[in-house]
Amino acid sequence: MYSIKLRNNTTFTASDNETIFEAAKKNNIHLEHSCLKARCSACKVKVVDGETEVIENDLILSNNERKEGYILSCNTKALSDVILDIEDLGNIELFESKIVPAKINAIDKLTDDVIQVELRLPPTVNFKFNPGQYINLIKGTTKRSYSIAEVRTDKTLVFYIKNYESGVMSKYWFNEAKPNDLLRMEGPLGTFFYRPKENIENIIFLGTGTGIAPINAILQNFDQNPQLIEGKNIIIYFGARFEKDLFWTNSFKNINIKFIPVLSKPCASWKGESGYIQDLLIKDQYNLVFSQVFACGSDQMIKSAKQLLIQHQLDEMNFYSDAFICSN
C-alpha cells in the first residue's frame, strides 16, 4: 500500500491495482472528476513527488504536461508514496449516484439544432444533486451524458440537448422522442458546481452552446439563495457561432448579472461582442486574482481559456470546468 498526500495535507492509501481516484473514493475522499474514462481533463493533477504509472494511453494530456508531471487521477496508479498538488472537495456533500426511471414530460425547440427536454421522475424518487452536475440518460443500450439545466417547481428536470450529425442518441431525440417515453437516468455525476471561497470578488461563467446548461442550474440556485453570493459580481459570457444560436437569456430576478453574449461568426447587423469568450474576458480587464471562473462547453474552449486566464493571474485552483466530449 502507498500513501497519497494532497496539498491540504489530506492523506489516503492506494494499492498498486487501483487508480488514484478509486483509492481516494474508497477512503471517502472526493477529488475533481467528470467522465472517469480518461477522455476529459477534469481529473488532471500534478504529481509533486513519487512514481506513478498510466493505465491506458490517453489523448488528453500534452507531451509538455506529461513532462511537467501532470496525470489523470482516473487513469493512473501509484508505484510509490505520492504527493499531489491538489486539494480534495472538503465538506461539499456529493450525493450518491443511482439509476432511476424517468419519462419525457415535454420537448421544445430552442434553435434549429437544440431542444429543451423536460423529464419527470416517479414521485417516490428523491433525487438530489449539486447544481452544475450532470446525469447519464439511458435508452436501450445507448447512454449519453447531459447537464441538468433547471429544476422546475413540480420537480421536473430540464435539459438542453444538441443535435449531433450521425449521433445515435441525436437521432432518437430529434426524430423519434415523444412525451411519456420511458428512459433510465443515472446520476448525479461530476464535480462542476459552485465552491464558496473567501476573498473572491468576481464569479465568472464561460459557456458555449449547450454548455450554458449547468451554468443555468448554478444561477438558479443563486437566485433562490442570493445570500450565497452576497457582495460578489456575477458575470456570464455566452458564446455561439451565429445570432440564431443564442437561445439563452438572463431571466433571474433576485440576483444581478452582467450578461455578455458573444458571436464567433457575427453578421453585419450584429451590434454585440464578437470573437471568443475567453478573449473578451481578458479584454474586459476583471481582476482575475480575486476571481473564480466556471467554464463549460467544448474541450478546445476550456483548454484555451484555462491557459489564457492563468497567464493573466487567475489562480489555477479557481478555474473549474466541464468539457463536453463526443461519444465514441
Q: Is residue 27 located within the same domain as residue 108?
A: no
Which residue ranges of the chain lie beneath pLDDT 70? 325-328
Distance separating alpha carbons of residues 154 and 257, to the nearest angstrom: 26
Q: Is residue 155 located within the same domain as residue 128?
A: yes
Q: Is residue 254 part of a domain?
A: yes
Residue 16 sits in a domain whose CATH number is 3.10.20.30
Tens digits of residue pLDDT in 188-216? 999 999 999 999 999 999 999 999 999 99
Pick from 53, 84, 115: which residue ends a domain? 84
Distance separating alpha carbons of residues 105 and 109, to the nearest angstrom: 14
Q: What is the pLDDT of residue 142?
A: 95
Residue 164 sits in a domain whose CATH number is 2.40.30.10
Distance separating alpha carbons of residues 210 and 238, to the nearest angstrom: 10
Q: Is residue 92 part of a domain?
A: no
DSSP 184-244: EEEEEE---S----TT--EEEEEEEGGGHHHHHHHHHHHHH-GGGGTT-EEEEEEEESSGG
Q: Is residue 196 part of a domain?
A: no
Residue 227 sits in a domain whose CATH number is 3.40.50.80
- Residue 127 C-alpha cell reads as 433525487
Q: Is residue 90 part of a domain?
A: no
Q: Is residue 29 part of a domain?
A: yes
Q: What is the pLDDT of residue 253?
A: 93
Residue type present at position 320: Y
Pick from 84, 109, 126: which residue ends a domain? 84
Q: What is the pLDDT of residue 243?
A: 97
User: What would you report as the CA-atom Rg of the chain, rounded to the nearest whole angstrom?
Assistant: 20
Domain count, the chain: 3
Q: Is residue 91 part of a domain?
A: no
Q: What is the pLDDT of residue 327?
A: 56
Q: What is the pLDDT of residue 38?
A: 85
Q: Is residue 66 part of a domain?
A: yes
Q: What is the pLDDT of residue 326?
A: 57
Full domain range(s) for residue 115: 98-189
